[in-house]
Amino acid sequence: MGEYPPSVTVVHSTVVTLFPDLFRPLLEQSVFGRAVRRGLLRVDFVDLRTFGEGRHRVVDDRPFGGGPGMVLMAEPVIRAVEAARARHPRGCRTVYLSPQGRTLTQAMVRDLATAPGLVLLCGRYEGVDERALEVLRPEEVSIGDYVLSGGELAAMVVLDAVARLRPGVLGDERSPAEDSFGEGEGLLDHPHYTRPLDVRGIGVPEVLRGGNHGAIAAWRRAQALARTRARRPDLLRGRPGSPDAPAAAPPA
Ligand code: 9WO
């Protein structure tokens, strides 16, 4: 809304892809779409095909050394990313989505959200000619150890994660700091309950039904810690008093 000057709040991203239409569902999705319409976010596209060679705008060729599949040619990728970068101020970040990248964390998302612009390069086929990466020197980011059919879904993950950190995107009553991996905590989330009180004989923890906000906060924190210890002990490593901290109560 008006209280945030656009230069501070708009994350402007340019996606370089052969398939810009794949992003339509994300851009039209309720939270993301509303933020775009309200001018809190901006997502543009550079269609790689535009930079293809010849009448057929060819962007791929067979791999030197043989093997199955095709490789995205260096020049179309270089030109497309240069065109994307030209739309952003100095200091914009270029991210190539690939399984060879550094695995995305919430800390990386928070850092990307402060960039003056993001260029997201989506590969296809077996990958991009290595010389394009050598010339462009993008940051290589993975969203996890699996192979997709292209970088587009991974780029959407980055866009969504960055977008929801922008002031006003989630709505004013919510703070991303309260979510899993939030600023303050770095813990998994606590359990949630809503009406009705009885679901197939299963009730709601008594503490949540009283109005004792201190007790509720303490219970939620204990639950978050217990879950993190049980499911993701790696997240607790290096925290003060972590390995031998007493286990919290299981859900009532
Ligand atoms: C294909 C392949 C086949 C056999 C063995 C290893 C292989 N790796 C790939 C591959 O990386 N293909 C990519 C398809 C080329 C670049 C775009 N593509 C992609 C990106 N697939 N998965 C991602 C991705 C991006 C970010 N985080 C997770 C996956």
pTM for the predicted model, two decimal places: 0.90
pLDDT attached to residue 184: 54
Q: Which two tokens stand for residue 126?
A: 């077996």
3-state helix, strand, coil in the chain (%, to 5): 35, 20, 45
Best residue among 100, 108, 126, 141 to mutate for probing ligand 1's pocket (most ligand atoms within 8 Å of CB) is 126
pLDDT attached to residue 240: 77
The full set of domains in the chain, from first to last, is 11-163 (3.40.1280.10), 185-236 (1.10.1270.20)
Best residue among 148, 149, 152, 156 to mutate for probing ligand 1's pocket (most ligand atoms within 8 Å of CB) is 148
Residue nearest to atom 29 of ligand 1 (CA): 99
Ligand 1 centroid to Cα of residue 232, in Å, is 26
- Pick from 186, 252, 184, 194: nearest CA to 223: 252
Ligand 1 centroid to Cα of residue 136, in Å, is 19
Query: If DSSP states are collapsed to H, E and C, what string results for 114-133?
Result: CCCCEEEEECECCCECHHHH
pLDDT in tens, 77-110: 999 999 999 999 999 999 999 999 999 999 999 9
- Binned average pLDDT, 10 residues per bin, the chain of 252 residues: 48 97 95 91 97 98 98 98 97 97 97 96 98 98 98 98 89 61 75 98 98 98 98 92 60 62
